[in-house]
Structure 1
Amino acid sequence: MLYIFDLGNVIVDIDFNRVLGVWSDLGRVPLALLQSRFQMGKNFEQHERGEISDEQFAANLCAELDIALGFEQFTAGWQAVFVGVRPEVINIMTRLREQGERVVILSNTNRLHCKYWPSQYPEVQQAADKLYLSQDMGVRKPEPQIYQKVLAEEGVTAGQAVFFDDNLANIEAARALGITSVHVTDAGVVPGYFASRLA
């Protein structure tokens, strides 16, 4: 089987309020105001597909939030999103590979984050056979092509894959292609799924 894991809030806990907290302090803008303005719209999607640069993304987002930040200040906040690894998921990924299963990561992400998290969490890359990252692939979840590209690259059918993600839209898109998909609503879902399967 091919096991496909999302990164954020599946393997690594993330929290965008931490990002906004840093920007609030640096830009001297009330946190509640930033929270009311913050949305993951077209700018996010273009950045995750690699269609715009980190600098353009930062400028666009600062304009949307109406906050004056230098690029280094923006980056300092942006990397604050990462809270920490879920070690029980790393353990499951490692055990699956020891049993001869194929384990990959499929993440909507961007170059800024990929300059940061691999050095902070080396165990994540070590637990996966391959990383599929939206900014390298030119497509992002929940676009069907991203799942189709992974299946084709791995040489498996949809029926031979299991997908874990915290975003319901991504789950529904994968299910529509015939991929067994598990909606990760909290840290107990993945260990729960494998409790009887990895006995």
Structure 2
Amino acid sequence: MKNDKIKNIIFDLGDVILNIDVPIASKSFAALSGKEQSEILSIFKENDLFRQFETGKLNEAGFRNYVRELLGLSDLSDEAIDTAWNSLLLDLPPERVELLQKLAGNYRLFLLSNTSSIHITQVNKILEASTGIEKLDDLFEIVFLSYDMGLMKPDAQIYLNVLEQAGLKAEETLFLDDNLDNINAASKLGIDTIHVQKPLTILEYLKDYAV
């Protein structure tokens, strides 16, 4: 149901705007290394690899070198690592972009994503191939990315920083995310939320806002 107080809408990226399949990445790294997928997941989790990259503690070169170190593959190319890491990124349906463009006539739109620079480069390529739009920045007033902010959802501070930087009031702001922890954290701050759950998409959840 539409909340008439809403003036601003913040979108998550993965499985909200862009379709993703997170396990594919660990499968890809397993194929590169000859290790089992479960071992890859364990290695990366124990060493906090993705969190370090997605909060900017590792830059692109640092991430790639750490992957080589953890997998024991010193000759693994940058391209091979990037391709494996990006394999979880699927398609970006043009109708979701059309919805964003329609909503932009009545609301201030923002993106807030836990992500990495390698992913964003690839997402922009997918976006342009799908819609002709060159980059996410062309769809949103501000694009908030975890690796730039040094924070990740569901840390309350990341939402507070977004509200402050964009000059938003929590009660006038709607946030959409597929992760329940992220939704709950935003809700505690007074932000209105929608938990996006497949098979529904933002097309269904926001139909009342797009009229």
* Equivalent residue pairs, number: 197
Tell whether 2:73 aligns with 1:68.
Answer: yes
Cα deviation for residue 32 of structure 1 reads 5.2
2:88 to 78, 81, 84: 81
SS at match of 2:154: coil
**What are structure 1's unaligned runs of at least 5 residues?**
none
1:52 matched to which residue of 2? 58
Paired with 1:78 and 1:132, the residues of 2 have a C-alpha distance of: 21
Cα deviation for residue 136 of structure 1 reads 1.1
Structure number with the higher strand fraction is 1
Of residues 134-143 and 29-38 in structure 1, the stretch that sits farther from structure 2 once superposed is: 29-38
1:154 to 149, 159, 166: 166
Matches within 5 A, 1:6-25: 6-25=12-31
The sequence identity of aligned pairs, in percent, is 28
Q: 1:105 to 1:187 in 2, by over 3 A?
A: farther
Tell whether 2:94 aligns with 1:95.
Answer: no
**RMSD, aligned α-carbons:** 2.4
SS at match of 2:104: helix
**What are structure 2's unaligned runs of at least 5 residues?**
1-6
TM-score, normalised with respect to structure 2: 0.81
1:186 matched to which residue of 2? 198
Say whether the 8 Å CA contact 1:48–1:135 is kept in structure 2: yes
Say whether the 8 Å CA contact 2:91–2:126 is kept in structure 1: no
Cα deviation for residue 75 of structure 1 reads 1.4
Q: Which amino acid aligns with 1:153?
A: Q
2:184 to 146, 157, 172: 172
Say whether the 8 Å CA contact 1:151–1:158 is kept in structure 2: yes
